[in-house]
Amino acid sequence: MVNKKEAAMKAWVERASKELGAPPGKIIYTATDLDGLDWLDDLPGEPPYIRGPRATMYAGRPWTIRQYAGFSTAEESNGFYRKLLAGGQKGLSVAFDLPTHRGYDSDAPEAGDDVGMAGVAIDGVEDMKILFDGIPLDRMSVSMTMNGAVLPVLAAFIVAGREQGVADAALSGTIQNDVLKEFMVRNTYIYPPGPSMRIVSDIISYTAANMPKYNSVSISGYHIHEAGGSLVQELAFTLADGLEYVRAAIGRGLDVDDFAPRLSFFFAVGTDFFREAAKLRAARLLWSRLMEKNFSPGNPRSLALRTHCQTSGVSLAAQDPTNNIVRTAYEAMSAVLGGTQSLHTNAFDEALALPSEASARVARNTQLILQHETGVTDVVDPLAGSYYVESLTSDLAQGAEKLIAEIEQMGGMTEAIRTGWPKLQIEKSALQTQARVDRGEDVIVGVNRYRAETETEIDILKVDNKVVREGQIARLEKTRSSRNDARVARALDALRLAAREESGNLLELSIEAMTARASLGEVSFALEEVYTRHQVQPELLSGVYAKANEGDAGFETLRGDIGRFAVEEGKKPHLLVAKLGQDGHDRGARVIASAFADLGFEIEVGPLFDTPEAAARQAVQTGAHAIGVSTLAGAHGSMVPALVSALKDQGGEDIVIVCGGVIPPQDREGLKAHGVAAIYGPGTHVQAAAEDVLALIRASLHRNR
């Protein structure tokens, strides 16, 4: 006998089928979707913490507004921080420039054009003291996104605190210290995986013993998301990284309850509103289960996942950029409904340049409006019990569990990373997403649909790299001339010895070196002499973009045209994809390289952290028709002209140069005046770009015959 609920559902399906013209997919959720879920009656503040790590959540204390900021010099950033704090921000989150991330002092040849461009330049304790001048470090929580040069940066922060009169135990905040994800996606590593894990565990050990308010690791899914990973991949790879860090710390002799309560996480929140909120709930559920299963902690707080969130950078579009304000607001709401402990909201102009003071204010006020005007802080976990959200939570948790099980079978995340498997999965996901956007299946308002007729002009922040670098070098020279060189040498020798003999604590020894006024680059190089600097040979992923475009007429037409070029010229159109300077973010470069290869181009991918001279030499020696420069960090204004000059010096002046990435409109005419043939910003249709590059190559060949 059919009961009333079954009869009602059958009638609904009939009505829905008529309205849709076909049987409906999964567009309705009911109580039956919650069957078997064992957490529905759980309370916040109790394991498995699915409803939040604190009992009262925002009803007791709102999330921390923590804007990620830093640019140019320590003086400039300090002034910016003071304005943010005066405007209602509750915590600081420091963005460092690329040479700092990669362990180079500002006067190093490798640093050059990147100094101060994508964050604040920090060469030592004196810079760190200026950065926090007038900001009481015993009362301000400071988060620092640092992985590669984590030892000298954290050491400099600790010394700056001590010289401000603040004991280590009074410092609060977070150091990212999540190097495993660097090998997967972000690439601001310095040392190989093994030594890098030693550094992570030494920091966990030191902070557990001396800094009870400090989060020793921020296990980051954000960069996995930004590199194109799916929600399930972001969840699984992040938590698998977390398991690896816990095992490393236990391997150094720590009890799990000595450090696990101070571990923190960091997730991206994109525009998939309900799934992103469910992702955070699934993360707490899974982490509690994994910690209990693998380590059986005695302290229930060791099971609790606490997280910072940041709205998605990859969702920001250069086209019609004020739309990004709306995107960020929805993403922020999703993060809050998911139960984040702190939040950064991106500025709307970040697809064009560093955020301006005005755009940063809008981003901060987005959070203030959420806290004070929407009512989201009135109750705990308002999405709890939703048929849809609880089902999504379960689905995401199950998908991530399967991936984590695969990683465990490989021997854990360090071993999985050595095989390259996680990076490959993320890259596949990124290419599949790009194909959907190119075909218009994933709608991006103002990019692939509803495009504005005129381009919106945005005032952007400009950094004078030359002035910043000169100032940094002057401070370095002053510090070196006034320090005790013998004390510095002894401290660096002790650091080398500890690295070589697996003795001592590397953070403790780095603190001694920074106290003596060793520079960031000197500490990093001392370890590099023992550990070496990690290098990766780029590999090209083939077939994924082509498979995602099977049956697409435009794709096949373009591939045919590229094939005709190969017949006419006796070789395929040849593109070298180059990453210049210290920027390791390579999603765009790898997507372009793989997609163009699937279309029929001959593709070479240059090494990360390349120089203009080396890129020019590779292009000339391999007979490239064109060089595609991928840039995100602002150094294009000097590096691309240097590339043009190097090509001329090496007889490659006929090679076409195109640029892609974050390039402000104000910079484009200058680049074109130096000989850049075309510029492609975020949101560019890949096939349209390929067609354009093919035409530019044809035109160049025709001119030079």
> DSSP letters along 629-680, please?
EEE-SSTHHHHHHHHHHHHHHTT-TTSEEEEEES--HHHHHHHHHTT--EEE
Q: What is the pLDDT of residue 631?
A: 86
d(CA 619, CA 438): 29
Average pLDDT over residues 260-278: 96
Beta pairing partners, 577? 605, 628
pLDDT at 378 exceeding the cut of 50: yes
Judged by DSSP in three states, 17 sits in: helix
Distance separating alpha carbons of residues 104 and 520, to the nearest angstrom = 7
What pLDDT, in 10s, does the model give residues 395-423?
Answer: 999 999 999 999 999 999 999 999 999 99
pLDDT of residue 5: 83
What is the average per-residue pLDDT within 641-666?
A: 92
Backbone φ, ψ for residue 445 (5° rounding)? -60, 130
Report the pLDDT averaged over residues 566-585: 94
Proportion of the chain above pLDDT 70, given as a percent: 99
Rounded to whole angstroms, the Cα distance separating 206 from 694 reads: 55
Q: Please, is 149 exposed, middle or buried when counting C-beta atoms within 10 Å of its C-beta (0-12, 13-18, 19+)?
A: buried
> Of 141, 47, 96, 88, which is closest to residue 341 (Cα–Cα)?
141
> For the ranges 85-94, 540-549, 558-567, which has the lowest average pLDDT?
85-94
Please check the confidence at residue 606 and state whether its pLDDT lies above 50: yes
User: Residue 191 catalytic?
Assistant: no
**How high is the pLDDT of residue 375?**
96
**Which one of 129, 428, 585, 685 is the catalytic residue?**
585
Residue range 52-68, pLDDT digits in tens? 999 999 999 999 988 77
Q: Can you give the pLDDT at residue 465?
A: 83
Averaged pLDDT for residues 570-592: 93
Prior bond to 192 cis, omega within 30? no
Let me know if 68 is a catalytic residue. yes
Query: Which tokens is 514 given?
Result: 């920074």
Using the Cα atoms of residue 473, residue 474, residue 480 and residue 481 in order, give the sign of their dihedral: positive
Question: Among 81, 206, 222, 680, which one carries the catalytic annotation?
Answer: 222
CA atoms within 13 A on the CB side of 238: 34
| Active-site pick, 101, 129, 181, 223 | 223
pLDDT digits 0-9 by tens, 234-249: 999 999 999 999 999 9
Mean pLDDT of 129-150: 93
pTM of the shown model: 0.92
Q: Is 223 marked active-site?
A: yes
Region 308-334 average pLDDT: 95
- Catalytic entry in 101, 225, 534, 579: 579
Percent of the chain with pLDDT over 90: 79
Is 189 tagged catalytic? no
Lowest average pLDDT, out of 122-126, 161-165, 180-184, 355-359, goes to 355-359
Tokens of 421: 């498997």
pLDDT at 84: 77
Compute the Cα dihedral for 78, 83, 88, 93 and give only its sign: negative
Residues in contact with 527: Cβ distance below 8 Å, sequence separation at least 6, in sequence order:
151, 190, 191, 195, 495, 496, 499, 506
Token pair 């963005």 in the structure block, residue: 95
Say what the pLDDT of residue 81 is: 85
Average of per-residue pLDDT across 94-120: 92
- C-alpha dihedral over 67, 365, 468, 151, to 10 degrees? -10
pLDDT tens-place string over residues 1-17: 457 888 888 898 899 99
pLDDT of residue 537: 78
User: For the residues 165-176, what does the mean pLDDT come to?
Assistant: 95
- So what's the pLDDT on residue 1? 46
Q: Considering 123, 583, 586, 610, which one is annotated as catalytic?
A: 583
Residue 70 has pLDDT above 80, yes or no: no
> Which is the catalytic residue, given 49, 58, 68, 680?
68
Give the pLDDT band (50/70/90) at residue 462: confident
- Residue 361 DSSP SS3: helix
The answer to whether 121 and 472 are in contact (CB under 8 A) is yes
Q: Give mean pLDDT, residues 430-435.
A: 94
Question: Of 113, 111, 38, which is closest to residue 525 (Cα–Cα)?
Answer: 111
The pLDDT tens digits for 283-294 are 999 999 999 999
Is residue 585 among the annotated active site residues? yes
